[in-house]
Amino acid sequence: MSPSVRLQEMIRVIRGARTQGEERGVIQRECAAIRAQFRQADNGTRSHNLAKLLYVHMLGYPAHFGQMECVRLIASPRYNEKRVGYLGAMMLLDEKQDASLLITNSIKNDLSHSSQYVQSLALCTLGCMGSAEMCRDLAPEIDRLLRASNSYIKKKAALCAVHIVRKVPELGELFTPASRSLLSEKNHGVLHGAVVLITELCERNPETLEQFRKAVPELVQIMKGLVMSGYSPEHNVAGISDPFLQVRILRLLRILGRNNETASDAVNDLLAQVATNTDSSKTAGSAVLYETVLTVMDIKSESGLRVLAVNILGRFLLNNDRNIRYISMTSLQKIVQTDHNAVQRHRGTIVDCLKDQDASVKRRALELSLALVSAVNIRSLMKELLLFLSSCPPELRAHTTSGIFNAAERYAPSQRWHIDTILHVLTTAGGDVRDETVPNLIQLITTATELHCYTVHKLYRALIADISVQSLVQVACWCIGEYGDLLLRGECEETEPVQVAEDDVLDALETVLQSHMSSPATRGFALTATMKLSTRITHNVDRIRSIVSIYGSCIDVELQQRAVEYNALFKKYDHMRAAVLERMPVIDKSSPGHTNGESAGGSIKEMEPTKRTQEVVLPQEPANQVCDLLDLLGGSGEPPQPSPALSTTALGPVSSTAGGDLLDLLGGLDAPLDHVTRPGKTLGPNYRLFMTFVSHSYPPQSVQLQMKAPSGDVIPAHGLGQVTQTVLLNNPNKVSLKMRVRVCYTSQDFVCQDTVQIDSFPSPAW
Amino acid sequence: MPIRQMHFLLLLSRQGKLRLQKWFTPVTEREKKKVTREMTLMVLARPPHSCNFLLWRDLKIVYKRYASLYFCCGLEDQDNELLTLEVLQRYVELLDKYFGNVCELDIIFNFEKAYFILDEFLVGGELLETSKTAVGIAMEEAETLQETMEEYMSKPTY
């Protein structure tokens, strides 16, 4: 009975199991039997039992109890057992297991065995899983075998040496002399192993690299021999003689020629020869050509050769084989910076690859297309990219949108084109854009002053068509709120004007407000826009009033707060409403704060990224409420009262003993500033100054508070400067006051808050 | 900076069963299972006629389907993917020559032979032999060393 039937029998039984449970049962039984067999004395079945165990291991079951058996079998004199033992060692033992050390001695003995097949087992195992210790131990043996043995052993010893060098780089010196002489071997296997070993040695040791530069002519000769040689059946692959060896030699030449004129010169001719003579109709030839191109681009080659290389890549782009198109684009990506013009010539083909069915090819084509965008081709290329966006796979959408935005920002030929492009992206893929897109677009719109009418018309049309894309809806609401008057005027130069009535516009905004699809941030936009329209329309202000008052009891706290504040604006502060809601000034792009669209709480707060403007919100009525927040606005033009003003400085330590007239609002900021170098705090879009009155008799209606604009935008780090904001308190009844002050600001893209309580004001102040 | 040719070579069946695994770097059992699972998911999901190259973690994955088996290997960034396709092709040819019209069942029932052939072809992730015939010759000669059962029992134990 041939011994391996038992193994195959077991495999058959396992495969016959109908359920996972049944399979587990069979395997448990078998493993128990195997364990028992391992414990017994030698009965001729050890190797088969181990083989069975290895099969079970491959199915995913634990097999660690076989490790010692591997050690035992490796030490056996029988070839069969050694063979399976070594296989087991490679599968079950790795350098992390202690048992792997136990086989070191056996390997050492087997390396000098009389049979080359036993030697080969030892070499293969050492080259696969040898630990650093084992490598150190056995390196001299390997060196010996590199020099004096037959080709079968030499080639294995070479790759074993490669493994040793990877594990213990210092041993590289040991192998250098032997590897040099291996280059004169005729056997391809040995030659290949030698080239791999030399490559490894040169990569790790610059001195060795210098030494082997002298071998360049020899390598060139070998390569020439391969390229020009006749047909060799043993090594021929699709007309190429030993493409594997050719590629490795090319790679070694690349390493030797890098940053070295002489070596590069010596290989120029060879590379040209290979490039022109290699038949690339099949993969083997293409592989060699590919390696040639990589080598040309990496060494100091003549410009003519570089052009040839790029042309080869261009030819690859037209190849029917997807794989070849893929690697061509990978290579072009690597050189697009250095040889930009050469790659530009192939732009058309690259853009065509955007339409390929395969996801890998599409991804490469996208990367390369984005790298090729320039001022010259922006219009045509953007058309292609937008077309791509409408049908691109979901995993690429976010990358595509951000790539398009970057390109548009750098090379936009006109503002109108820029706005159109962004709007197109938002309509097609608005769900996949980054958060900063909304404030960026708003900023762009405000700067394009001549296009306000055009923009608001376009956005209005987009809004009534579809309110599901949040980013688009937010921008649309903002625009309508801001430029609604232009919309209602019914005339526009750049595009067909819409004829809308005020009710239509309010309907649109209300739809957004009420829709389930709108996120809380979007509804905030819509509400604010509605409010802003109150100064831009003439007939329907009451409707706005009622909308605003309805949302005063909305469940969403943010929305409710806004509604209540706007309500108050209608009721008590109607005289200020027009000024508060007037047209925004142009936003300065250079203020870093404005691009910050992410607030700490996650919801996008008021998207009015101006430097100065804040909103007026005034105290609420409930008598027992102590912590109502006042959001105060400066710059409304009221003349300062003759009562003394409180100056506040923005930096410096909190002095709770309010010494003197100086009260510091931004107290407690020293600690963070000490540790980190900060570029300074920007009073960006999230800048708010909250001041609350803390008192027993509330509200102190007699007290009036007026805040002026802060003196600057940015507080430099490390206390190198300050921003002053003047607050005027009018306290005619001389009520004693405590105030809680909270400042919100932006620092390095984080929204921060600081709170300070002022318990007493200097008495002469009143 | 190591430029390993290959990190691993896996043979997966169409149902996602592992038929052969060779790891060229030291990897824990747990990690091996994880990588195998991920490869299975990725590679089996690819539509036919796709590009044979994928990016995964920091490796390039080259895979090729032969009948019901997916041959799948993980390479370093420096490697030549087209050449790796040729390496996979060569391995299949070697199996075919040895087994005579190889199919998945051959590899299932004779997995240890598949490994022996692989070990005559790749060592430490690098190509060992580029000749089409040398591997087959080595396998034949090694097999003459395989003792029959009688010889087995009569040899002294260690």
Is the per-residue pLDDT at B86 higher than 50?
yes
Q: Is the peptide bond before A169 cis (omega within 30 degrees of 0)?
A: no
SS3 B10: strand
**Chain B partners of A72 at a C-beta cutoff of 8 Å?**
158
Report the candidate in B97, B90, B145 with the shortest Cα–Cα distance to residue B121.
B90
Q: Which two tokens stand for residue A229?
A: 């040689």
Dihedral angle computed from the Cα positions of residues A104, A106, A107 and A113, in that order, rounded to the nearest 10 degrees: 160
Strands A663-664 and A648-649: parallel
What proportions of chain B, in percent to the nearest 5, are helix, strand and coil?
Answer: 40, 25, 35
Q: State pLDDT tens for residues B2-28.
A: 556 689 999 999 999 999 999 998 888
Chain mean pLDDT for chain B: 88
- For chain A, which residues score pLDDT lower than 50? 1-3, 592-686, 692-699, 766
**Residue-level length of chain A:** 766
Q: Inspect the interface and report whether the beta carbons of B132 and A87 lie closer than 8 Å.
A: no
pLDDT of res. A641: 37
Cα A88 to Cα A38: distance, rounded to the nearest angstrom: 14
Give the containing element (helix H, strand E) for B70.
Answer: strand B69-75
Choose among A160, A203, A283: nearest Cβ to B82. Answer: A283
Chain B 18-77, CB below 8 Å of chain A: which residues? Answer: 18-21, 23-24, 26-28, 33, 49-55
Confidence label for B119 from pLDDT (cuts 50, 70 and 90): very high
Chain A 280-299, CB below 8 Å of chain B: which residues? Answer: 283-284, 286-287, 290-291, 294
**Chain B partners of A94 at a C-beta cutoff of 8 Å?**
23, 26-27
Q: What is the distance, to the nearest Å, from the Cα of residue A473 to the centroid of all Cα atoms in its chain?
A: 27
B154 or A604, which is more confident: B154
Contact B146/A at CB under 8 A: yes
Confidence label for B104 from pLDDT (cuts 50, 70 and 90): very high
Q: Which two tokens stand for residue A462?
A: 């987009």
DSSP E strands, A343-477: none
Mutating which of A67, A159, A191, A231 best tests the B interface, going by the most B Cβ atoms within 10 A?
A: A159
pLDDT of res. A162: 95
Q: What is the distance, to the nearest Å, from the Cα of residue B37 to the centroid of all Cα atoms in its chain?
A: 17
pLDDT of res. A652: 33
pLDDT of res. A716: 65
pLDDT of res. A749: 60
What are the beta bridge partners of residue B55?
B60
Contact A50/B at CB under 8 A: no
Other C-beta atoms closer than 10 Å to the C-beta of A493 total 9
Q: Which residues contact A370 (CB under 8 A, 6 or more apart)?
A: A385, A403, A406, A407
Choose among A44, A117, A128: nearest Cβ to B123. Answer: A128
Q: Which residue has the tokens 């009535």?
A: A501
Contact A133/B at CB under 8 A: no
pLDDT of res. A642: 36
